[in-house]
Structure 1
Amino acid sequence: MSQNVSAASAPTSARTLVESLPAGRTRAVVAVVAGALAVAVIGQVSVPLWFTPVPLTLGTLAVLGVGAALGPRLAAASIALFAVAGVLGAPAFAGGTHGWAFASFGYVLGYLPAAVLMGWLARTGRDRSVWKTFLGALLATTLVYAVGAPWLAVYAHLGLHDTLAMGVTPFLVGDAVKAGFVALALPGLWAAQRFVSERRAND
């Protein structure tokens, strides 16, 4: 009886979007590289702000999507590849920058835990629900701030008020919109995947 209760209480392991694709030996490698490229390319969409060294970018949006699509393990590898490539000189970061000695590099580091959290949400099937995805995306974005804002404070010698004014507050609305977009897109992609699978099964 106790074994049945334990089994029932164990978290369900769900497939990610990448795992719904046909399996192959190179699938994981392709997914990791494609995820890193997606974050690098989408993150180039950036708007510099005159009052802060941290630009507005779509990087967080890409990280949320890559994390959910790949799952925690592959997402961690993908974001690590993206970060290492940028540190070693590839123009992977916003505005084609590279290296690590700049004010917003902490947000790049924050991408890693954010992507892993989104991957965990996908692994537990929470990316099928709009509201669960939205709340998860907000929490993942908070992890980006949790790493990025302290880095900004130390790098630019800022106090708490200036750190929030330059590294958090200007981006809250935009990141909430990104979370909403992801929350609508992921369940929609799963619905499309189920539709295609059902059509193939009926053919």
Structure 2
Amino acid sequence: MPTPSVQGADAHFSPLRLEARSLPVKLLAVLIGTLFLTLSSYITVPMVPVPITMQTFAVMMVGALYGWRLGTATILAWLAEGVAGLPILAGGAGGLAHFMGPTGGYILSWPLMAAFVGWLAERGWNGERPLLAFLSMLIAGTFCLVAGATWLAGFVGAEKAVTLGVLPFLLGDALKAALGAATLAAIVRTGNWWRSE
């Protein structure tokens, strides 16, 4: 198997190889991705004003496995379901009000997170190089916290935004990045079990 290039996009960066699949398969992948993202919303630790969930982990995994184009499209489809009122956000929430409330900055950062992780995955920051995958996810998680706290500051002030919206999540985001990189590496080690030549 060729070694992924960090310089340019690798044609087979993911074991799923969705970039080579037909449109119906890609649409099915988007549907499965939105279900995975929704399930991640129900794994939650209630906190005020921002709950701890597995959403950012799922967002980064979709980006890493789907690539930046399909990954971003999947996140946008999922968020559109939320805007339409489907119970896809933390704790089964839905509706436009949640995008405009205290957690809006975190939510709106997710398409950019998926795009960033997916773009780097296509350039070798993936399961073939787990340390680089970890770094990409750590950077994406940090971006989410900065974007979320910036938005949250408009509701509670800058100091509380950092205290309530950043500090409690630092360790968890590092663990999610490590889990994501380990998951990608495990998929590679098992022989790229969804890859077909």
Q: What TM-score does the superposition give when structure 1 sets the normalisation length?
A: 0.84
The Cα offsets for residues 40-65 of structure 1, whole Å up to 9 and x where unpaired, read as: 1112111112xx21001010111111
* Alignment match, 1:58: 54
Distance 1:58 1:105 in 2: 16
The Cα offsets for residues 41-95 of structure 1, whole Å up to 9 and x where unpaired, read as: 112111112xx21001010111111110100000110000111110110001001
1:1-203 correspondence to structure 2 within 5 Å: 11-15=8-12, 16-19=14-17, 23-49=21-47, 52-101=48-97, 102-127=101-126, 128-154=128-154, 156=155, 158-194=156-192
Residues 17 and 70 in structure 1, CA contact (< 8 A), matched pair in contact too: no
Q: Give the number of equivalent residue pairs.
A: 188
Q: Which runs of 5+ in 1 are unaligned?
A: 1-7
Structure whose alpha-carbon radius of gyration is higher: 1
Corresponding residue SS for 2:190: helix
Residues 14 and 124 in structure 1, CA contact (< 8 A), matched pair in contact too: no
Distance 1:94 1:86 in 2: 10
Q: How much is the aligned-residue C-alpha RMSD, in angstroms?
A: 2.3
Residues 15 and 65 in structure 2, CA contact (< 8 A), matched pair in contact too: yes
- Going by fraction, where is helix more abundant, 1 or 2? 1
Q: What TM-score does the superposition give when structure 2 sets the normalisation length?
A: 0.86
Identity %: 34
Q: What's the CA shift for 1:152?
A: 1.4
The Cα offsets for residues 168-193 of structure 1, whole Å up to 9 and x where unpaired, read as: 10011111111111111101112223
Greater length-normalized contact order (CA 8 Å, ≥ 6 residues apart):
2
